[in-house]
């Protein structure tokens, strides 16, 4: 029935058409829908989609200022009239590209986002593949005829549906009849169709001599929404007429109520390249070499002391050793207890026993007669014989193996004769003659001569085996982000969008990367966040319910 709607004579370009139910994405009418044709300014739909994506990702803002290049300023009409070197905010460039279809504004957007128009074309093509546009390839941001720049009616309808669902907060830009573009007030190139067809709210027109008159349109009637694309119209009026007929026929065929199937987030493929390093071998790594050190000299011999001093030191050491052996082998007599680490103390030189006794008696006499004498005074006469028979202890050699070391009360059983023998031997050894009262280190053998040869073997510089093949791993960055949250239904779309924006600003860390959308349902406009992980969706709802806000988690 719809096949007869195509014009009889199409001298400008081949005709193609595609109509889909926007709620489900299911096709309603197709004619040459997969034929690759010139899209003309319908290309700017992808330019705007890329700009909206960059804004949502935080790469740019609406008030970011883009610099106009000489290439952008030289683009042919339709144009905004930008000058090379001029800076203009992104919001004005979006309005000029979407409403007036300005080529200089579209080129400035592409160069500002990707650095060059060619690089932006590659990014546009990659995004088209992620959106499911299988027969589309872009070479520029404006859509002027260029070799290798093509698309189809079906792919452009897919892109139009994506603009509606992925960026509802910006979609109203396509229904404006005029707007302020910063340096001028611009009017819509789609004004005739928007005014002439009831329910139309977008999207984009396009024209070149090679493409003909193109249009991607969206319209709503009640619960029904259709998106359609026409390529190859012979004039603006004829193109709008055919589009109206296609939409009328489509609205009559689609059911009033269907289960809405939103498009899944674009699956951008990220490549992970794994490389293994390879270093070419060198001779030093494969053959041992002999290296002789030249920077150090042989150690000098230690100067020995005079022979007399060495002889005296050796004699002193031998005398001490002999005395200790003789003392240890002497027979024990009696059961007297002596300190294990010292011999019997001798009298201090020049001190008489009578002086000690006199000091003790003087201390006793100084005590008052009326008070009883303390215990220390009463025992002074008993201690006098011991004090008289003792002198300052001589230093004794310390030994780690001595019993009771570290305790002042440690004592050991040893004989008086053994103690006296040790003391006498120590005195005799200490009286041995020394040359200049100096001691030297005992003679020790000279250290062995250090080797001056170092063997360097197998000093490799890396893995010299055959490198492994390049491994490319592809993954979807949104894997697992199939969840969403519903924040309730509201009377107007503006109220729902305001709520989504406020929540996004409050919970930016959790909702980073999430998409905002407003669905028109029978019970009102439903505010949703999509493209969330399960954990982020649950966390968002917990926070919302803590603020007494209705929230429901939706799964894949």
Binned at pLDDT 50, 70 and 90, residue 322 comes out as confident
Quote the tokens at residue 304. Answer: 């020995």
pLDDT of 404: 43
Q: Which of 59, 121, 457 is nearest to 284 (CA)?
A: 457
- DSSP, res 302: P
The two tokens of residue 500 are 């989504």
CA of residue 260 relative to chain centroid, distance: 39
What mean pLDDT is predicted for residues 235-254? 95
pLDDT in tens, 490-544: 888 888 888 888 888 787 778 877 888 898 888 889 999 888 888 888 888 888 8
Give the pairing type, strands 524-532 and 515-521: antiparallel
Residue 312's pLDDT is what? 56
Tokens of 556: 């894949």
- Is the whole-model pTM more than 0.85? no
- Compute CA distances 201 → 35, 162, 217, 248, 276, whole Å: 26, 15, 8, 15, 55
For CATH 3.40.710.10, the residue range(s) in the chain are 2-256
Going by pLDDT thresholds of 50, 70 and 90, the confidence category of residue 149 is very high
pLDDT exceeds 60 at position 438: no
Burial tier of 277 (Cβ tally within 10 Å: 0-12, 13-18, 19+): exposed
Task: Give the pLDDT band (50/70/90) at residue 371.
Answer: very low
Of 64-68, 260-264, 329-333, the least confident: 329-333
Cβ neighbors of 210 (< 8 A, separation 6 or more) are 13, 38, 145
Would the pLDDT of 451 be above 90? no
pLDDT tens track for 11-38: 457 999 999 999 999 999 999 999 999 9
Report the half-sphere exposure of 70 (CA within 13 A, side-chain side): 0
304 band by pLDDT with thresholds 50, 70 and 90? low
250 has a pLDDT exceeding 90: yes
Map tokens 């920077």 to a residue. Answer: 295
Query: Does the pLDDT of residue 161 top 70, yes or no?
Result: yes
Domain range 483-554, CATH class: alpha beta
What tokens does 184 get? 């001028």
Residue 377 structure tokens:
């005074």
Length of the chain: 556
Q: With pLDDT > 70 as the criterion, what percentage of the chain qualifies? A: 61
Order of strands, sheet of 515-521, starting from the edge strand that comes earlier in the sequence: 515-521, 524-532, 483-490, 552-554
- Superfamily of the domain at 2-256: DD-peptidase/beta-lactamase superfamily (3.40.710.10)
pLDDT: which is higher, 217 or 439: 217
Report the chain's C-alpha Rg in angstroms: 52
Per residue, the 3-state secondary structure of 259-283, as one string, reads CCCCCCCCCCCEEEEECCCCCCCCH
d(C-alpha 134, C-alpha 158), whole Å: 10
Answer yes or no: is pLDDT of 481 > 90: no
What letters, b where the CB count within 10 A reaches 16 and e where it falls short, cover 141-165?
bbbbeeeebbbbbbbbbbbbbbbbb
Q: What local confidence, expressed as pLDDT, does residue 466 receive?
A: 53
Cis peptide, bond prior to residue 78, ω within 30 of zero? yes
Q: Is residue 79 among the annotated active site residues?
A: no
Query: Is residue 444 scored above 70 in pLDDT?
Result: no
Q: Is 277's pLDDT higher than 60? A: no
pLDDT digits (tens, 9 = 90+) for 342-353: 556 665 555 555
Q: Look up 44 and say whether it is catalytic.
A: yes
CB count within 10 Å of CB 276 equals 13
**CA-closest candidate to residue 186, choices 93, 107, 76:** 93
pLDDT tens-digit readout, 385-435: 555 555 566 665 554 444 444 444 444 444 455 555 555 655 555 555 444
Report pLDDT for 57: 92
Statement: residue 266 has pLDDT above 80 = yes
What's the pLDDT score for residue 126? 95
Q: Where in the chain is the domain with CATH 3.30.70.1070?
A: 483-554
Residue 143, pLDDT score: 96
Residue 273 has what pLDDT?
Answer: 46
- Which residues have C-beta within 8 Å of that of residue 372, sequence separation ≥ 6? none
Annotate 450-484 with DSSP letters as a single string.
Answer: PP-EEEE-----S--SPPPPPEEEEE-TTTT--EE
pLDDT of residue 70: 96
Query: Exactly one of 69, 79, 100, 101 is catalytic; which is it?
Result: 101
Residue 235 catalytic? no
- Share the mean pLDDT of the chain: 77
Question: What pLDDT does 181 receive?
Answer: 94
**CA-based nearest residue to 211, from 194, 242, 232:** 232
């Amino acid at each position: 029935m719809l096949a007869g709607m195509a014009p009889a004579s199409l001298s400008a370009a081949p005709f193609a058409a595609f109509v889909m139910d926007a709620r489900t994405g299911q096709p309603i009418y197709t004619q040459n829908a997969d034929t690759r044709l010139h899209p003309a300014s319908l290309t700017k739909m992808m330019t705007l989609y890329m700009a909206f994506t960059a804004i949502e990702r935080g790469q740019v803002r609406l008030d970011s200022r883009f610099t106009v290049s000489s290439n952008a300023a030289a683009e042919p009409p339709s144009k905004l009239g930008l000058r090379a070197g001029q800076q203009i905010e992104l919001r004005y460039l979006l309005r000029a590209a979407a409403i007036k279809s300005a080529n200089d504004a579209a080129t400035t957007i592409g160069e500002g986002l990707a650095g060059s128009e060619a690089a932006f074309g590659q990014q546009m093509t990659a995004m088209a593949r992620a959106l499911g546009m299988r027969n589309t390839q872009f070479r520029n941001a404006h859509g002027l005829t260029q070799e290798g720049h093509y698309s189809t009616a079906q792919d452009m309808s897919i892109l139009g549906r994506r603009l509606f669902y992925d960026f509802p907060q910006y979609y109203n830009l396509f229904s404006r009849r005029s707007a302020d573009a910063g340096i001028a007030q611009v009017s819509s190139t789609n004004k005739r169709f928007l005014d002439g067809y009831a329910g139309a709210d977008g999207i984009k027109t396009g024209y070149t001599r090679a493409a003909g008159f193109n249009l991607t349109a969206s319209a709503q009637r009640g619960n029904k929404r259709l998106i359609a694309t026409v390529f190859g119209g012979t004039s603006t009026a004829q193109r709008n007429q055919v589009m109206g007929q296609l939409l009328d026929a489509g609205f009559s065929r689609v059911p009033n109520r269907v289960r809405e199937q939103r498009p899944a987030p674009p699956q951008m493929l990220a490549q992970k390249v794994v490389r293994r390093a390879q270093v070419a071998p060198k001779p030093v790594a494969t053959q041992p070499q002999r290296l002789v050190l030249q920077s150090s000299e042989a150690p000098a011999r230690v100067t020995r002391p005079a022979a007399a001093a060495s002889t005296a030191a050796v004699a002193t050491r031998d005398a001490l050793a002999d005395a200790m052996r003789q003392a240890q082998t002497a027979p024990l007599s009696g059961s007297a207890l002596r300190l294990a680490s010292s011999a019997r103390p001798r009298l201090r030189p020049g001190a008489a026993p009578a002086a000690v006794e006199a000091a003790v008696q003087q201390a006793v006499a100084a005590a008052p007669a009326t008070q009883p004498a303390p215990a220390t005074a009463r025992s002074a006469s008993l201690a006098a014989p011991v004090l008289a028979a003792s002198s300052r202890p001589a230093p004794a050699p310390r030994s780690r193996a001595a019993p009771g070391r570290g305790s002042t009360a440690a004592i050991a059983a040893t004989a008086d004769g053994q103690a006296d023998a040790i003391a006498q031997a120590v005195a005799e050894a200490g009286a041995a003659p020394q040359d200049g009262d100096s001691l030297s280190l005992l003679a020790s053998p000279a250290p062995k001569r250090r080797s001056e040869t170092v063997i360097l073997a197998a000093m490799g510089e890396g893995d010299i085996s055959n490198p492994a093949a390049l491994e490319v791993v592809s993954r979807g960055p949104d894997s697992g982000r199939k969840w969403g949250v519903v924040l309730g239904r509201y009377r107007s779309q503006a109220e729902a969008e305001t709520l989504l924006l406020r929540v996004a600003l409050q919970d930016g860390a959790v909702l980073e990367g999430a998409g905002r959308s407003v669905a028109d349902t029978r019970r009102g406009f439903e505010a949703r966040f999509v493209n969330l992980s399960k954990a982020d969706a649950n966390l968002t709802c917990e926070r919302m319910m803590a603020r007494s806000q209705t929230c429901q988690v939706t799964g894949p």
